């Protein structure tokens, strides 16, 4: 089996402790009642993440937890020629209120940072009407 074309690969495999992924949404995400976002992880091992938002210039942070198995597995490639490896997809709900965002206030940018070397993030989803992602970047700080 050969690796898929680079434009069909998703996720970030094995980001190191301290690396961050910054997601900017095209439409602001409101702090509604209950969870507002879900962080998705290719669960090979136990990744740990902190999460912050542009609401307070990324000052308040929470640890993404608890993790829940979605019951879905996918094949992932490590680099372009290693794999595929099967991973379960796990998710952690994020309530913007836990980050100090007032009810009905919005955020446009969310940063999640690897807190250990076992992180295999797939992405961050908004639990509201479909919201296009404007920009996702991996930053090493």
Q: Is residue 62 part of a domain?
A: yes
Going by their DSSP bridges, the two strands 133-140 and 37-43 should be labelled as unpaired
If pLDDT is split at 50, 70 and 90, which confidence band does 122 have?
confident
Mean pLDDT over 58-72 rounds to: 93
Decide if 94 contacts 127 (C-beta within 8 A). Answer: no
Q: Is residue 97 part of a domain?
A: yes
Least Cα distance to 73 among 37, 109, 41, 30 occurs for 41
Q: Is residue 100 part of a domain?
A: yes
Residue range 19-57, pLDDT digits in tens: 998 988 888 999 999 999 999 998 888 789 999 999 999
If pLDDT is split at 50, 70 and 90, which confidence band does 9 have?
very low
pLDDT of residue 11: 52
Q: Is residue 126 part of a domain?
A: yes
Domain range for 66: 6-140
Q: How many domains does the chain have?
A: 1
Q: Is residue 1 part of a domain?
A: no
Q: Is residue 34 part of a domain?
A: yes
Residue range 112-121, pLDDT digits in tens: 999 999 898 8
Roughly how many angstroms between the first and final C-alpha of the chain, as a whole number? Answer: 36
If pLDDT is split at 50, 70 and 90, which confidence band does 95 have?
very high
Question: 0.75 cut: is pTM over it?
Answer: yes
């Amino acid at each position: 089996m050969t690796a898929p074309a680079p434009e069909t690969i998703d996720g970030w495999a094995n980001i190191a402790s301290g690396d961050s992924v910054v997601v900017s949404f095209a439409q602001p995400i409101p702090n509604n009642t209950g969870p507002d976002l879900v962080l998705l992880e290719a669960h090979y091992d136990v990744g740990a993440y902190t999460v912050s938002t542009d609401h307070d210039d990324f000052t308040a942070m929470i640890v993404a937890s608890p993790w829940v198995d979605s019951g879905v597995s996918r094949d992932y490639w490590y680099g372009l020629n290693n794999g595929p490896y099967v991973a379960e997809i796990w998710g952690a709900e994020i309530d913007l209120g836990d980050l100090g965002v007032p009810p009905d206030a919005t955020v446009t940018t969310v940063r999640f940072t690897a807190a250990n070397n076992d992180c295999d993030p797939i992405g961050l989803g908004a639990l509201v009407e479909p919201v296009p992602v404007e920009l996702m970047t991996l930053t090493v700080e």
